[in-house]
Chains A and B, each alone.
Chain A
Amino acid sequence: MIGLQPVEVDTIIVGSGMGGLGMGIRLARETERSFLILERAHDVGGTWRDNTYPGVACDIPSHLYSFSYRTKSDWGQFYADGAQIHRYLQDAARQEGLLPHLRFGTDVRQMRWQPDVARWQLDTTTGSYRCRVLIIAAGRLSEPRIPEIPGLTGFAGPVFHSSAWDHSVELAGQRVGVVGTGASAIQIAPNIARVAESVVLFQRTAAYVVPRADRTYSDAEMRLLAQVPGEIERLRSQLFWEAEAGFAKRVGLPAAVAEFRDVALGHLASQVSDPELRARLTPSYEIGCKRVVLSDEFYPALSTGAVALEPSALDSLHSHRATAASGAEYELDVLVLATGFHTTQPPFATRVFGREGIALSDRWSRGMVAHASTTVAGFPNLFVIDGPNASLGHNSAVHMIETQIGFILGALDHLELVNADVLEVGREAEDAWMSEIDRRSASTVWLTGGCSSWYVDDRSDRLTLLWPDFAFAFRDEVGTFDPRGYRVSRAPVAVAH
């Protein structure tokens, strides 16, 4: 496969998660462009392919966590589990005819803008590619963050990250340590406690946990959604606007925040009767500052002792012995790192080189920035999906991804309309956008809630992951490509499309 001539296509998408597939579906359905989707793994699905840990599930209702242009009437659960979402994405790729566009096992190692030909040159593990338009959909929760724990490499048993679960490890009869209290850890701990001999959870910071109240859809409900026209759209709309109202809790509306906190602390009080345990599980920061977790199983697992709580971080390891920051010691056979991801400093940025050979990671050395959350000054014809200020704490990531896809299609149409080859946002437009982002972020719980979270870049204390407004506002402001602030030009030399 590795030839000297690069493979030439109009558009390349890096990554085949929700973002890459959603983009590919619309390119295939609506345009004549030649395009490829490069994926380092051997299947589509991104997050939902990689995260197969016991209990992995979505905390956004299934009907919202799916493409608006590929609704699914037979979601069996209110909240889909990871395997169902993975299957949904596999079906989408196959049924939309994306398989011929996909190149698996293709790790994109370098993406370099070539001004002389106005093309992006990509070096990958399966050879080189050249394209006019580069769309990076490499995810923001795709690179495991492995903590530096002294003795980690010398630990005398299996160690794995939650997003790379080792299913060959038999947990029955084993003493398992779980590090972290994010969404993954809280799903994992009660589930593995059913088989493991013991489970201890290392908690550096307590999480707010609210009731999940998952439920199954009856056959009649699924048929209703399938057979009555408009019913599925009505349901999606209702779920969307319900989730949107939750943004009030993130901007410090005192009544909404208090109500939300009461729900979480009430859930804790109703499920944990031991006052000491309850105190250890009570967060010391404002609700919403870190991602709020949905679970009906987590507190009961701690309350019954099925999962032991270590209220401090894992400090060091020595053979089988794990020592917590509190000094407490545990003998462990297996260690699960539910320690999250490299979010604010995405590794792909070190591989992208724009005008004048500048690395995107250097452009982003004080935190990710982009205009319209999608385009970066100095990086012509580059679009980033699910990158800077494009995630939400209160509603579905798919809404954001679809908004960006609409924006990118609009930008490509614009290029065609003005008969140009190269589109690049100006620095002024990007700066203005970013100062508006900073202004809106200032009053949000993510910056005022007294926690450290993966939404905030610790190099600049800026909120770089989340969109600091309603999801509808993202659609209003980003959903339609606005050419103001962009420069367009023709390619310096004519190159065949």
Chain B
Amino acid sequence: MSAAAAAVAATGPTAQTVIVEGVPVHCTLAGSDPNGSDPVVLLPGVGGTTASDFEFLLPLLARTRRVLAVDLFYGAAEATGLDGLLDQLAGVLRQVLPGRTVILVGFSVGATVAAAFTARNPTAPNPTAPNPTAPNPTAPNHSVASLVLVTPVPRASNRHRMLAALRSDISVNHPEALRSLDLFSAYSSTFLQLNSPEPFLPGANTVAQLHLFATCDLTAVLPQITVPTLVVGCTKDDLAGVEAARLLFASLPDARYTEIDSGHAVFVERPAEILAIIREFVSHPVSHPAGSMLEAARP
């Protein structure tokens, strides 16, 4: 640990609403960064919110740095598609963290947004990347210093479309069965054998998030992501699929990869393990060279 880190004093999470192009976006800011370390921006996953996904991560990560969690309004972007979401995120960052380079952490469809945002935005110069893109000084947008993609959905497959169709069918014809389907698909068999998690609350964004889940395809823009990236796959994830995470790792020029023994809802199943991984990566993003597979901790 460094003496500089000693100066960081944590502050409690505060919620705020930011208006971007007339759309209200909720976000939560916590922690502080007197020594100027890059803030971390968290994007929740499909069917989730900051409250449901980052209840553990947000305050505990904020013990070591500034953290902003953003609940994008997916519904408003239905007409504009993914680009609309990226504009929303850019608007939030401009208002809440003006001029700051950020570390983006996206979970599930939040990772889709995070990856697309990074591809679209000029990156901070990064000498370790094989093909550093030149920073664009005229761009008003934020640059992303590094990126964490947790059980990401970079490209919808037949399976993703099947699940979305099944879910939408059940929500019309057997709404009460929807709870079981969601629990069943979010958690691993190991977790459900030992725990009885609460059903998910229907979220205002869920349908629009599922639309993104079932239609996205970032294949064309992936080569533009040149910042140091960590991809985290979940070995028991039947929703996003661990193969997607592995392939994404292999598709990015400056990525590392690690896996967690968990279902999709990794922030509930393994909150401390994912915190450990994120905390270490955001502090030392290039301590492992591009292309390396990080060994899981063996406690």
Residues on A facing B (Cβ under 8 Å): 64, 68, 233-234, 236-238, 240-241, 244-245, 247-248, 251, 253, 255-256, 399, 432-433, 435-436, 439-440, 443, 470-473, 475-477
Contact = CB atoms under 8 A, between A and B. Distances in A.
B261 A472 contact: no
A237 B3 contact: no
Contacts of B299: 64, 68, 236-237, 240-241, 399, 471-472, 475
Contacts of B3: 432, 435-436
Contact of B272 (A234, A245, A433, A476): A245
Interface of B: 1-3, 5-6, 8, 10, 55-56, 59-60, 63, 190, 261, 270-273, 275-276, 279-280, 296-299
5 contacts: A436-B6, A470-B272, A472-B272, A473-B279, A475-B299
Contacts of B6: 432, 435-436, 439
Given A241-B273, A244-B273, A255-B55, A68 B1 contact: no
Contact of B298 (A68, A471, A476): A68
B284 to A, nearest CB: 9
The 3 closest A-B pairs by CB, nearest first: A244-B272, A240-B299, A472-B276
A204 to B, nearest CB: 33
Nearest to A479: B297
Given A255-B55, A436-B6, A237 B296 contact: yes
A434 B106 CA distance: 35
Contacts of A234: 261
Identify whether the interface residues of A are mostly helix, strand, loop, or mixed: helix
A440 B2 CA distance: 12
B113 to A, nearest CB: 27
B270 A241 contact: yes
Contacts of A476: 276, 280
Contacts of B2: 432, 436
B1 A477 contact: yes
A245 B63 CA distance: 15
Nearest to B7: A439
A440 B5 CA distance: 10
A302 to B, nearest CB: 31
Nearest to A435: B6
B1 A436 contact: yes
A436 B8 CA distance: 10
Contacts of A253: 56, 59-60
Nearest to B275: A470
Nearest to B274: A241
Contacts of A470: 272, 275-276
Which of A433, A435, A471, A472 has its CB near the most chain B CB atoms (within 10 A)?
A472
A473 B276 CA distance: 7
Given A64-B299, A68-B298, A238 B261 contact: yes
A186 B126 CA distance: 58
Contact of A248 (B60, B261, B279): B60
A251 B298 CA distance: 25
A475 B272 contact: no
A172 to B, nearest CB: 42
A253 B62 CA distance: 11
A26 B270 CA distance: 30
Nearest to A255: B55
A124 B271 CA distance: 48
A68 B131 CA distance: 41
A244 B275 CA distance: 10
Contacts of A64: 299
Contacts of B190: 238
A443 B63 contact: yes
Nearest to B8: A439
Contacts of B275: 470
Nearest to A431: B3
A269 B6 CA distance: 42
A248 B63 CA distance: 11
A340 B5 CA distance: 35
B274 to A, nearest CB: 9
A439 B10 CA distance: 10
Contact of B297 (A255, A439, A443, A475): A475
Contacts of A245: 56, 271-272
A440 B60 CA distance: 12
Given A68-B298, A251-B63, A436-B6, 20 more contacts: A64-B299, A236-B299, A237-B298, A241-B272, A241-B273, A245-B56, A245-B271, A245-B272, A247-B60, A248-B60, A399-B299, A432-B2, A433-B1, A436-B3, A443-B63, A470-B272, A472-B272, A472-B273, A473-B279, A476-B276
Contacts of B272: 241, 244-245, 247, 470, 472
A475 B297 CA distance: 9
Which of B5, B8, B56, B272 has its CB near the most chain A CB atoms (within 10 A)?
B272
A237 B63 contact: no
Contacts of B60: 247-248, 251, 253
Contacts of A440: 63
Contacts of A233: 298
Contacts of B10: 443
A320 B5 CA distance: 58
Contacts of A244: 272-273, 276
A255 B51 CA distance: 12
Nearest to B194: A238
A248 B298 contact: no
B276 to A, nearest CB: 4
A256 B56 CA distance: 9
A60 to B, nearest CB: 12
Nearest to B5: A436
A334 B49 CA distance: 59
Which of B8, B261, B299 has its CB near the most chain A CB atoms (within 10 A)?
B299
Contacts of A443: 10, 63
Nearest to B268: A245
A464 to B, nearest CB: 17
Nearest to B277: A472
A248 B297 contact: no
Which of B2, B63, B280 has its CB near the most chain A CB atoms (within 10 A)?
B63
Nearest to B284: A476
Nearest to B191: A238
A255 B271 CA distance: 15
Nearest to B59: A253
A472 B275 CA distance: 10
Contacts of A475: 297, 299
A234 B8 CA distance: 36
Contacts of B261: 234, 237-238
Nearest to A429: B3
Contacts of A240: 299
Contacts of A237: 261, 296-299
Contacts of A238: 190, 261
B60 to A, nearest CB: 6
